[in-house]
Amino acid sequence: MRVEMFTFLLAGLICLGGALGVVLFRNTVHNALSLVATLFGVAVLFIAQEAYFLAAVQVIVYAGAIVILFLFVIMLLGVDRADQMGVDPIVGQRTAAVVFGVAILGLSLVALLSGPEVVTGTPATTAALSSDIPDVNQIGEALFTDYVFAFEITAVLLTIAVVGAVVLARRSDGPVIDEDEFDGTALDALALEEPSDVGDPDQDTADGADPGSGADETDPDDLEEASR
Amino acid sequence: MIIQVPPTVPVVPEQLDPSAVPLAVPEIVWSAVAPALVLMIGGILLLTVVSLVRKPLPSWFHATWTVATATAAICATVPLWQRVQDNGASSEMAGTVGLDGFSLFVTGVICVSVILAALLLEGYLRREDLVGPEWYVLMLLSASGGVVMASANDLIVLFLGLEILSVAVYVLAAMHSRRTSSQEAGLKYFVLGAFSSAFLLYGIALTYGATGSTNLAGIQTFLADNVLVDNGLLLAGLAFMLVGFGFKVAAVPFHMWAPDVYQGAPTPVSAYMAAGVKAAGFAGLLRVFVTTFGPTYREEWMPMVAALAVLSLVVGSVMAIIQTNVKRMLAYSSISHAGFILLGVAAASDAGTSAALFYLLVYTFMVAGSFGVVTLIGRKGDGRHSLEDYRGLSRARPGLALVFTVFLLAQSGIPLTGGFLAKFYVIGAIVDEGLYALAAVAMLTAVISAFLYLRVIVAMYFAGPAGAEEGSEEPAEFAGPPVRIPAAAGLALGLALVGTLALGIVPGPATEVTRDATAELTVGN
């Protein structure tokens, strides 16, 4: 019991520390690396729940592949790119964000701690994790029985992601035609270095599934080669 | 805790528990998912064909393919509809896909929106010198996600359907590569959409914790058989799920993305977003809240949905009035329409669901037609959307002005159009449940929003030229290059017009279909 508690607290601290690092570090590379800590902590929590397969997937896919992709995008965009963190587009949005964040945290805590029996304890539709069957077998069985349809339609999602990434990474064939629709202040606030990009650079790093929006600023030839 | 090393020896079945029964693989009934399959295969085949053919295919080919695929999907629902009406609802694929009248009806609505949007897209792409079948591929795949979502009998399938639907539309919104505002719309929609998906997923997780199942029928049975002593977890799950759905249907206060995205996205895509995406979002909302939690937790979620409805009605109609950009105005008006449909959800009755479905069908025609006219008036560059650009349209293009007038009047709810009956049924369902205050708010905001539609009509017919003094009798000159109406767009407008008027004049068949389109949760076999 004590060991479990210790593991949980340690992993939880790693998760929270990493999450804070993602938000608080100024350097984007440090943000991405902090994310590794969070994902690693979650993997430890999975192991504590004897979900070894999930833990392995967590480390290999999330900490391994996805964060590396983040770093790729950050490097392609340029690490030394100045982020415009000083100016808020909406007055007081940081305060509002903190208030709402704390409110959501409070709501979740109240919901989770509102009584001794909030989690019903009825067995999940998947079999209990502590049975003799290895968890890989259990996951495989669940994927090919109860969740076979969900498993199969994920393919459509992946197809869309591929098509979308290729389409958005494609070079724009012509000049921007709607600059006149933005008034001067909006253009200044966005500080368009190249007219083809509107997105905040700090937002781009967060969307792993949408490389195109960040890719507009890199050399399009490289991306076209990469996408083939 | 001792960390057990997982067995490294490959496990052969014999070494497992000898009493283990062979894997009970669920029966795959392909016909149950036929409409979604048709859309998926149509989209992927289109992608394959255009990649294999050396010469670029003419642009009409893509549009025709898309329309044919969506029509085939509608045809696929007909025998299924018969089966459901004869044998009752069923649930297939290990109980994750619900086959009932509700899902089939929403499938039809989504396919209609795909047909109309694809017809609009054809002329749009040629006008804007944009190429590529990807627009149509993404639209078809997105529609398949909507269909999956409408027929989901499991929260995980519902979530996947929603993601398939949304991710494709994020890309579509950003696909006009030469318009900065399109890129902005895509990025905004993506960031906020991903945020809302996270809320929905969190809600699903909490609901799973509280009920022990992600299967909607399982949740319903669990809640019918058990009384939760501490239901905080379930209530939080419901609230988070409502936030997620609220984002998708653009209900106030989760509407902030809608005006920017509708305004920035390519106009035919806006039409699809307003019609198809909204229909799928409401399908998910109705399925989860009314059908699953309706019998047991109505008292808890009804006030939340009613509050969303009232806020959407008021904010949508009031904010729409002060807009000068017609696309933005239509975006706010779609928020107010979402408020009306939410009234049907809040009624939480069979009549309410039928009214919401009827509203979705009518709204698909009205809004696709409206955005269709806006597509044409935008002209090359897709930038002429201010109210000024509509001055004198009645002289330059009397037919187009008349058609737009019909769509706007239908949206405001004038009798003899589908819009009137849609509002009438929704308010009737609310009154049946004794929620008179909601009905009063709805009627009041209907009057307010009538003003905004009249503003556009006045600009088209009566307004003097820009810069002339008030009350000038000088006829308005239509500014800018002439408006061209491609054949496909004309067909789309014609279909939308017929739909809008036919549903108002002969509502009988559609009303009967929506009455039969009940959602039922059945335990899988």
How does pLDDT run across B202-258, given as a tens digit for each residue? 999 989 888 888 899 989 888 888 877 778 888 889 999 999 999 999 998 899 899
Per the CB < 8 Å rule, is A111 touching B144?
no
Q: What is the pLDDT of residue B21?
A: 63
Interface ipTM:
0.86
Is residue B152 scored above 80 in pLDDT?
A: yes
Q: Establish if A185 touches chain B: CB-CB under 8 angstroms.
A: no
* A152 token code pair: 């199969």
Show the domain range for B367: 31-516
pLDDT digits (tens, 9 = 90+) for B69-80: 999 999 999 999
The better pLDDT of the pair B383, B490 is held by B490
**Identity (one letter) of the amino acid at A21?**
G
Q: Rounded mean pLDDT of A185-189?
A: 53
Q: Rounded mean pLDDT of B445-454?
A: 91
**Considering CB atoms only, which of B160, B181, B226 is closest to A153?**
B160
Q: How far is B467 from chain A (nearest CA, A)?
A: 20
Is residue A126 scored above 60 in pLDDT?
A: no
Residue B2 in any domain: the answer is no
Q: What is the pLDDT of residue B479?
A: 78
pLDDT digits (tens, 9 = 90+) for A51-81: 888 899 999 998 889 999 989 888 887 766 6
Peptide bond into B253 cis (omega under 30): yes
**Identity (one letter) of the amino acid at A74?**
I
Per the CB < 8 Å rule, is B11 touching A137?
yes
Residue B12 in any domain: the answer is no
Residue B524 in any domain: the answer is no
The better pLDDT of the pair B350, A135 is held by B350
Residue B9 in any domain: the answer is no
Q: What is the pLDDT of residue B481?
A: 84
Q: What is the pLDDT of residue B474?
A: 54
- Number of independent structural domains in chain B: 1
How much of chain B exceeds pLDDT 90, in percent? Answer: 62
Listed by number, the residues of chain A in 30-89 with a beta carbon closer than 8 Å to a beta carbon of chain B are: 47-48, 50, 52
Mean pLDDT, rounded, of chain B = 88
Q: Rounded mean pLDDT of B414-424?
A: 91
Residue B25 in any domain: the answer is no
Is residue B11 scored above 80 in pLDDT?
A: no
**What domains are defined for chain A?**
1-130 (1.20.120), 147-228 (no CATH)
The better pLDDT of the pair A128, B71 is held by B71
Is residue B8 scored above 70 in pLDDT?
A: no
Kindly report the three-state secondary structure assignment for every residue of chain A.
Answer: CHHHHHHHHHHHHHHHHHHHHHHHCCCHHHHHHHHHHHHHHHHHHHHHCCCHHHHHHHHHHHHHHHHHHHHHHHHHHCCCCCCCCCCCCCCCHHHHHHHHHHHHHHHHHHHHHCCCCCCCCCCCCCCCCCCCCCHHHHHHHHHHCCCHHHHHHHHHHHHHHHHHHHHHHCCCCCCCCCHHHCCHHHHHHHCCCCCCCCCCHHHHCCCCCCHHHHHCCCCHHHHHHHHC
Q: What is the pLDDT of residue A115?
A: 63
CA distances from B453 to A186, A214, B246, B335, B514 (A): 29, 39, 25, 14, 28
Q: What is the pLDDT of residue A119?
A: 57
**Considering CB atoms only, which of A118, A173, A206 is closest to B230?**
A118
Which chain B residue's Cα is nearest to A209? B167
pLDDT digits (tens, 9 = 90+) for B15-40: 455 455 677 788 888 888 999 999 99
Is residue B166 scored above 90 in pLDDT?
A: yes
Is residue B351 scored above 60 in pLDDT?
A: yes
Residue B18 in any domain: the answer is no
**Among A162-171, A182-191, B205-214, B269-278, which stretch is predicted with the lowest mean pLDDT?**
A182-191
Tokens 């905040």 found at: A200
pLDDT digits (tens, 9 = 90+) for B304-329: 999 999 999 999 999 998 899 999 99
Per the CB < 8 Å rule, is A123 touching B212?
yes
What span, in angstroms and rounded, lies between the C-alpha atoms of B372 and B117?
A: 8
Residue B7 in any domain: the answer is no
Per the CB < 8 Å rule, is A4 touching B154?
no
Residue B66 in any domain: the answer is yes
Q: Which residues of A touch B228 (CB under 8 A)?
A: 120
**Considering CB atoms only, which of A108, A161, A195 is closest to B180?**
A195
